[in-house]
Amino acid sequence: MKKTIRRGYLVNTAVLVAVYILCVVLANVFSEVSNFKLILTPSIWQCCYLIILAASLNLVLGFMGQLSLGHCGFMAIGAYTAALISLAFQRAGVYDEKSGIVFVLILFLCVICAGVLAAMFGVLVGIPALRLKGDYLAIITLGFGLIIVNVINNLPFAGQNGLAEGVASSSLYQNGLGFGTTAKVTYLWVALAVTIICVALMFMFIRSKYGRAVRAIRDDEIAASAAGINTGYYKVLTFAFSAFFAGIAGALYACSNSTLSTASFSFTNGSILNSTFVVVMVVLGGMGSLTGSIVSAVIMFVLNYQIANGSWVSSLPGFIQGVFTYPMLVYAIVLVIIIMFRPKGIFGTYEFSLLRTPGEFVRWIKGLGGKKKAKPEGKEAAAQ
């Protein structure tokens, strides 16, 4: 193993662990503050699943260059799987209170199962769908997304009270996970740990030989297959990998919502959690930049939250306030403006790196004061 690579692993792992510990410590310190409990914790939960969701779509959209418009379908599979498995354990009497080591084990089991089932469906959808590309793929994935939701609506065990007491319905009112406000604080570490592990895995994936192969396919599929890359295999693999993480995001969603409804996973709906807005997050952050997806997921969440709930909205002039009562209108305008002026997204293909970014940042600060000699943009893209 090369020295720099080993140093990279060490530094990255150390920093991730440090960040995680810091977050958990902070969470414990502030756990009694009411705003932390009521506002910040649910926000972090929502950010966590949005980050995983956006980053996982970026694997397909940004790194493989294939537009998928049904990503939330996989999230729905994950969410329902996690909710129903945990409910089965609860009904079987394995756990009663949402605490204790048994519950934590079941929680992680649900998360893994959600991911695995979603990945299986990812393979199922991917094999036929990835024979097509571009706009056709977009439409076919959109179709799959709608089919998944339509089928869940008609599953008798996934509606109303769930399992044996269920009736086919679009709402599942019972959920074995479904944390309340206090439990969300207690299990905040789960959300953070799962998110950090998922993001780290995705970073590792795109930097492995698989990631390089996938990017080669994006840049030129024919050249890639001429160079001996089995394009079909890699495409389905990436698709399944992406679906796996979408399923995990779904499990986190099931944790933060006491009930599930298929309307939350549709193509468009009232919130920012839908197949359209995941694409928006990826494009906004930069296709081919996991850093971008993470940042833009958080930006979209904060923007959405603030427009809906921020007190500063009422101090705006009347006209803008009027526009802000229609948040989707604002997002549409923001999206068009970003695409017009920055079609590559905020980060382009830039990736944050603990080893490089601090140095680059220092140089950039120095550069601000001194001569304005821009570094060629392609270099950093090539350097990752």
The DSSP code for 372 is -
Q: Which amino acid is at 251?
A: A
Q: Which is nearer to other proteins, 9 or 326 (CB)?
A: 326
Q: Tell me, by CB under 8 A, how many residues bind other proteins.
A: 107
Distance between CA atoms of residues 162 and 156, nearest Å: 8
Binding piece for other proteins, criterion CB under 8 A, among 42-50, 73-81, 114-122, 241-249: 42-50
Q: Which is nearer to other proteins, 4 or 34 (CB)?
A: 34
Distance between CA atoms of residues 114 and 116, nearest Å: 6
250 counts as binding other proteins under rule CB under 8 A: no
Distance between CA atoms of residues 56 and 125, nearest Å: 16
The DSSP code for 160 is B
Which of 19, 200, 332, 355 binds other proteins (CB under 8 A)? It is 332
Coil vs helix vs strand at 229: coil
The residues in 339-368 that bind other proteins, with binding defined as CB under 8 A, are 339-340, 342-343, 346-348, 350, 364, 367
Distance between CA atoms of residues 315 and 305, nearest Å: 16
Pairing of strands 171-172, 260-261: antiparallel
Binding piece for other proteins, criterion CB under 8 A, among 20-28, 114-122, 241-249, 302-310: 302-310
Residues found in the chain: 384
Which of 64, 142, 194, 237 binds other proteins (CB under 8 A)? It is 142
**End-to-end alpha carbon distance in the chain:** 18
Distance between CA atoms of residues 362 and 170, nearest Å: 53
Q: What angle do CA 325, 327, 333 make, to 5 degrees?
A: 120
Distance between CA atoms of residues 39 and 318, nearest Å: 27
The residues in 175-204 that bind other proteins, with binding defined as CB under 8 A, are 178, 180-182
19 counts as binding other proteins under rule CB under 8 A: no
What region does 163 belong to: left with phi over 0, alpha with psi -120 to 50, or beta? left
Binding piece for other proteins, criterion CB under 8 A, among 114-122, 187-195, 210-218, 323-331: 323-331
Please, what is the minimum distance in Å from the beta carbon of residue 265 to other proteins? 11
122 counts as binding other proteins under rule CB under 8 A: no
* Alpha-carbon dihedral sign for residues 274, 275, 281, 284: negative
Whether the Cβ atoms of residue 63 and residue 211 lie closer than 8 Å to each other = yes
Which of 43, 186, 231, 384 binds other proteins (CB under 8 A)? It is 43
The residues in 50-69 that bind other proteins, with binding defined as CB under 8 A, are 61, 65, 67
Q: Supply 138's token pair.
A: 């977009």
Please, what is the minimum distance in Å from the beta carbon of residue 311 to other proteins? 4
The DSSP code for 376 is P
The residues in 278-297 that bind other proteins, with binding defined as CB under 8 A, are 279-280, 283, 287, 295
The residues in 255-274 that bind other proteins, with binding defined as CB under 8 A, are 256-259, 261-264, 267-271, 273
Which of 12, 196, 197, 310 binds other proteins (CB under 8 A)? It is 310
111 counts as binding other proteins under rule CB under 8 A: no
Which of 154, 208, 212, 359 binds other proteins (CB under 8 A)? It is 154
168 counts as binding other proteins under rule CB under 8 A: yes
Which of 1, 164, 374, 382 binds other proteins (CB under 8 A)? It is 374
Q: Is 209 exposed, middle or buried (0-12, 13-18, 19+ CB in 10 A)?
A: exposed
Binding piece for other proteins, criterion CB under 8 A, among 15-23, 138-146, 186-194, 232-240: 138-146
Q: Which is nearer to other proteins, 56 or 169 (CB)?
A: 169
